[in-house]
Structure 1
Amino acid sequence: MRARTERGASPRPVHLRPGAVALVAAGGALGTLARSGVTAAVGAGTAWPLATTVENLTGAAALGLLLGVLGRRTETPRVRAARLALGTGVLGGYTTYSALAVEVQRLAAGGEPLLGVAYGVVSVVAGVLAALAGVVVGGGRTGGRSPRDRDAADAPEAAP
C-alpha cells in the first residue's frame, strides 16, 4: 500500500499531478498571448531582435520579482500554485530563450556573426541582471536565512 501525505493526497511528484499541469498549461497560454502582444507592439525593427529582447528581459525581471516575493513565504499549496501558474506557466510562455537561440543562429548564418554573439551575450547577461533586480525589488534579500528560519525568527517569543 502506498503511503499517503496530508489530506489524503498521494506522494506523486508535483510535475505529475494533473492540477499542477493544468496550472502551468493555463498560465503558459496566457504568457504566450502576452508575448504575441509584445511582439506585435514592438515590431521587427532593425537587425537586433528587439521584441525578443524586450520579452526576455521583462520576463526575467518579472520572474525575479515573483521569486523574491514568494521566496519570503513558507512553501504552502497556495504558494506552490502561484509559482507554477505565474512563474513556470505565464512567464515560461512569455519569455522565449528558444527564439534567442534561433535568432543568434540566424544572425550568424546571415553574415552578422559578431552581432549574433553580441545579441546572445547581452541577452543572457542582461537577463540575469534583470532577474537579480527583480529578486531585490521583490524583497528576496533575506540575509541567507531560509523561510523556516525567517518564520521562527519572526514568531513571537514565548513568555518565560
Structure 2
Amino acid sequence: MMTTLLQVAAGGAVGASCRFLANVGMKALFGAGFPWGTLTVNILGSFLMGLLAVALERRGAMALAPFAMTGVLGGFTTFSAFSLDAVFLLEEGRTLVAVIYMAASVVVSIAALVAGLLLARGMVTVP
C-alpha cells in the first residue's frame, strides 16, 4: 500500500507541475482573458486517459496505473478521471446513471465551490 501511495504522490507531483507549466504557457500565448490552460489540460488529460486506459490494459501493465493515471493525469487534471468514469458508465449501458453522474458532478461541484467561496468570504455562516 505504501509503495502505491508513493507512486501516486510522485505522479501527482509530475502532473501538477505539468498543469502549472501548461497554464503559464497558454497564458503567455493567448493572454489571461480566457482559461485556455485549464481547457487545454482538461482536453489533453482526457485524451491521454483514454489512451492509457487501453494501452495499460492491453499490455498487462495496470501496475503502472497508480503512477500514470491516478498520479500524473490526476495531478494534471481530475477531469480526465471524471471523463473516464462517465464513458465507462455509458459503455456499460448505464446511460441514466452516467447522465446523473455527469450532471451532478458539474452542478454540485460548482455549487460546492460557490458555497466555499461564500463561506470563506464571510458572506454565509454555518450554524
TM range (shorter): 0.5 to 0.7
**2:64 aligned with 1:82, yes or no?**
yes
The amino acid that maps onto 2:48 is: A
TM-score, normalised to structure 1, is 0.45
Q: Which runs of 5+ in 1 are unaligned?
A: 1-16, 107-160
Return closer, same or farther for 1:22/1:71 CA change in 2, 3 Å cut-off: same
The structure with the greater share of residues assigned to helix is 2
d(CA) in 2 for partners of 1:73, 1:86: 14
TM-score, normalised to structure 2, is 0.56
Identity %: 34
Return closer, same or farther for 1:18/1:86 CA change in 2, 3 Å cut-off: same
For this pair of structures, how many residues does the alignment match? Answer: 82
d(CA) in 2 for partners of 1:52, 1:35: 8
Looking at CA atoms only, which structure, 1 or 2, has the larger radius of gyration? 1
Q: After TM superposition, what 4+ stretches of structure 1 lie above 2 angstroms from structure 2? A: 44-48
Structure 1, residues 81-136: CA drift from partner, whole Å, max 9, x if none? 31110000000000154xx856xx78xxxxxxxxxxxxxxxxxxxxxxxxxxxxxx
Q: 1:47 offset after TM fit, Å?
A: 4.6
Structure 1, residues 37-68: CA drift from partner, whole Å, max 9, x if none? 00000017365421100001000001110111
d(CA) in 1 for partners of 2:64, 2:26: 29
d(CA) in 2 for partners of 1:85, 1:96: 14
Return closer, same or farther for 1:72/1:96 CA change in 2, 3 Å cut-off: closer
**2:13 aligned with 1:29, yes or no?**
yes
The amino acid that maps onto 1:36 is: F
Structure 2 counterpart of 1:68, from 33, 45, 54? 54
